[in-house]
Amino acid sequence: MEIQFLPGVGPKRAALLQKELNISTIEDLLRLYPFRYIDKSSFTRICDARPDMAYIQIRAKVLRVDLYGAGQQTMAQSGEGVKFNTVKRMSVWVTDGYGEMEMVFFKGIKWMHEKLKPGLEFIFFGKPTVFGTKINIVHPEVDTLTAEKLQMAGAGARMTGVYPSTEKLKNAGITGKVMNKMVDAALNKALGDFEESLPEYVLRQCGLVPLHFAIRNIHFPQDAAALEKAKYRLKFEELFYLQLSLLKQKYIRSRADNGIMMPKVGEAFNKCYESLPFPLTGAQKCVITEIRNDLKSGHQMNRLLQGDVGSGKTMVALLSALIAIGNGYQACIMAPTEVLAQQHFKNIQKLLAPTGVRAALLTGSSKTAERREVHQGIEDGSICILVGTHALLEDNVVFRNLGLAIIDEQHRFGVEQRSRLWNKSSVGVPPHVLVMTATPIPRTLAMTLYGDLDVSVIDELPPGRKPVQTIHATEGKRPALYNFMREQIALGRQVFVVYPLINETEKLDYQSLEAGAEDIMNKFPFPDYKTAVVHGKQQNDVKQFNMDAFVAGRANILVATSVIEVGVDVPNASVMVIESAERFGLSQLHQLRGRVGRGSEKSYCVLMTGHKMSKESKRRIELMCATENGFELADEDMKMRGPGDLEGTQQSGLPISLNIASLAKDGLILNAARDCADSILKADPTLHDDKNQLLRKELRKDKYQVKDYSKIS
């Protein structure tokens, strides 16, 4: 039923609710859950009020009312002869016998002036704030004192929900009080129409309350225990259906015999393995075994490989590609940037030398002649491994027999882009897929974003990697920092200096980078020092020339935006200076830090910040200095910022939107929901049992109809 037909709403308010909160039906309103609750069961004495209290409820008598015009000019207290459109502020002084307090109004003054007469008693509710030396409440909720209100503000009072809101809603009169009335009306009108969405046996096994109880008590809890039961039920339901939809795809796919069979390892794999410059870590060997088992299973591989910065994912990717080649198939490795694609290609070329396997690079800046040669080579099969950017997805890139697609830092590719890889196989069977990321993903988020993929983790760094010492410094330490940089350069090392680029169009960010580069060049003058500058506004060839100069050691210092976060491998770089470090998220800081410490020398990461930082920024900087474990940092990042895409922007990749559950806080509920979904699907993968009819019906709803791109993401 449309929201406009709810008493007290109407077409105008309905349009505003749709625009501001995406609420168009009564069900939408009942699925908008409070984000906190107010307990109105007691009164605070004025003398006990403190500005750090979230809210207070006061029973008090009006002493006097003062009206103020422009420039704080006092008007007549009675209001007689006052033009209310000229009144800018109304000050209402009240007392409860324990003290006096000011209630301040800037809007609705005429109506409040008529109501708040001296001598009358009211209930005032709101947030206490400090003005000068006194505590006041700006725009309190005001209730007339009645026997019913007094009874409610006692043992029988129920907790009141506080709902998400916007300035436009408040200005249109849709206050918290109005929202509560609307929800109350919606519960009375439509709760009976809500059908139970979980089977009886799931409610029983998992100890869940019925849906009607949960919906009523999430909005107007009987008590704290009822609220907890309601929250648990609604969170469980959201996470359960999310996991059920993902796992169902996985079960169906794993039962289908549609994977390219790759039973052999092959000569190229053995030759490469035997000539590796250093032994594989135990974690790398374990992951290769898992991949090998997938490739020979007869089912299509869909595996997510998580590995912290520098853990050796590229080596695993290459050896996996060589298994495909040993079975007569081609492989491709797709990277999000040209820099990273070139880095992969360069590393792979060295390792392929003993094998005779031909690899090629294809990016947006590949010359026409190069492209022609690459297109020919992959079509006739003479090129076995193709490394590149999204250029690999172009229609004229036709493989002879693609058997394995490896996608690096996949969160940087759009789903539609990735899906085009699906059609690149000419053997009639989709290629095996290995997704890699160096962004450590908290387990709860990995289970949700990649719940239908098998997950492997490289949790061990190669031998010889030394920990990076992380130091926090403010502006006053800059001279000492520059001296330290000079010492490191004198030892033959190189230095990264990174500036934040929050938005590609942010002029201020570029200005601070340009000013910073100028300062570096003044303090480190040519020809004794050489500084290269790289940022997103440069032409590709300029960017590449400067990057190459640093990688080749011709430049001592690279001043860059966070474009260098992923992929630049300069073993000789021992210092990473991150300017305005408070503007980066934890995972991004960790990625940047991973650009140093790649050689055998002691390395340093210096986090430069301003003196004034928010509490969250301070916590991030402290954590960075305390640990190098990317998975610990990712967990903390998600707790602090919610499940963003770990890059600081809103996560839009969740298969369904979560209204009440939080991936950051509800890990235990997620585990319980996943275990329940898993046990159901083990017994009934297609949900065709009669007892699962409700589950089948729920999964058909639009919100679960996610395109099955999981095979290539």
At residue 708, the pLDDT reads 41
- Is the per-residue pLDDT at 533 higher than 60? yes
Among 83-92, 295-304, 441-450, whose mean pLDDT is lowest? 441-450
What is the CATH architecture of 1-38+164-191? Orthogonal Bundle (1.10)
At residue 643, the pLDDT reads 52
Whole-angstrom distance, CA of residue 526 vs CA of residue 660? 58
CATH of 267-297+312-437, one of 3.30.420.130, 3.30.930.10, 3.40.50.300, 3.30.70.580: 3.40.50.300
Sign of the CA dihedral 245, 250, 255, 260? positive
195-205 pLDDT, tens per residue? 999 999 999 99
At residue 319, the pLDDT reads 96
Instruction: Using CB atoms within 10 Å of the CB of residue 58, give its burial: 0 to 12 exposed, 13 to 18 middle, 19+ buried.
Output: buried
At residue 568, the pLDDT reads 66
Nearest to 331 by CA among 343, 350, 317, 345: 317
Hey, do 41-156 and 267-297+312-437 end up sharing a CATH topology, with the first three levels equal? no
- Is the per-residue pLDDT at 360 higher than 70? yes
486-528 pLDDT, tens per residue? 999 999 999 999 988 645 455 666 677 888 889 999 999 998 9
At residue 80, the pLDDT reads 64
Q: Which residues pair with 305 in a beta bridge?
A: 436, 456
CB 88 within 8 A of CB 111: no
Higher pLDDT, 429 or 229: 229
Q: Tell me the average pLDDT across 324-352.
A: 90
Q: Per CATH, which fold does 468-627 belong to?
A: Rossmann fold (3.40.50)
At residue 372, the pLDDT reads 93
At residue 537, the pLDDT reads 76
| Domain 41-156 sits in CATH 2.40.50.140 | yes
User: Degrees (nearest 5) of the Cα angle 460, 463, 467?
Assistant: 75
At residue 704, the pLDDT reads 63
Q: Tell me the average pLDDT across 41-67.
A: 91
Res. 703 pLDDT band, cuts 50 70 90: low
Nearest to 45 by CA among 128, 162, 118: 128
* Mean pLDDT taken over the chain: 84
Whole-angstrom distance, CA of residue 568 vs CA of residue 476? 30
597-653 pLDDT, tens per residue? 877 778 999 999 988 888 888 988 999 998 887 777 777 777 776 554 433 223 344
Q: Tell me the average pLDDT across 11-35.
A: 91
Higher pLDDT, 537 or 417: 537
**pTM of structure:** 0.64
Q: Which residues pair with 58 in a beta bridge?
A: 124
135-176 pLDDT, tens per residue? 999 999 898 887 656 655 544 456 788 898 888 888 888 888
Segment holding 500, helix H or strand E: none
At residue 232, the pLDDT reads 97
| Percent over 70 (pLDDT), the chain | 85
- Is the per-residue pLDDT at 40 higher than 90? no
Among 284-288, 353-357, 639-643, whose mean pLDDT is lowest? 639-643
- Is the per-residue pLDDT at 433 higher than 60? yes
- Count Cα neighbours of 376 within 13 Å in the Cβ-side half-sphere: 6
- Is the per-residue pLDDT at 207 higher than 70? yes
CB 322 within 8 A of CB 333: no
Res. 82 pLDDT band, cuts 50 70 90: confident
At residue 707, the pLDDT reads 44
The one-letter amino acid code at 100 reads: E
Domain extents in the chain: 1-38+164-191, 41-156, 267-297+312-437, 468-627
Quick one: how far is CA 588 from the chain centroid? 12
Among 456-470, 480-494, 629-643, 696-710, whose mean pLDDT is lowest? 696-710
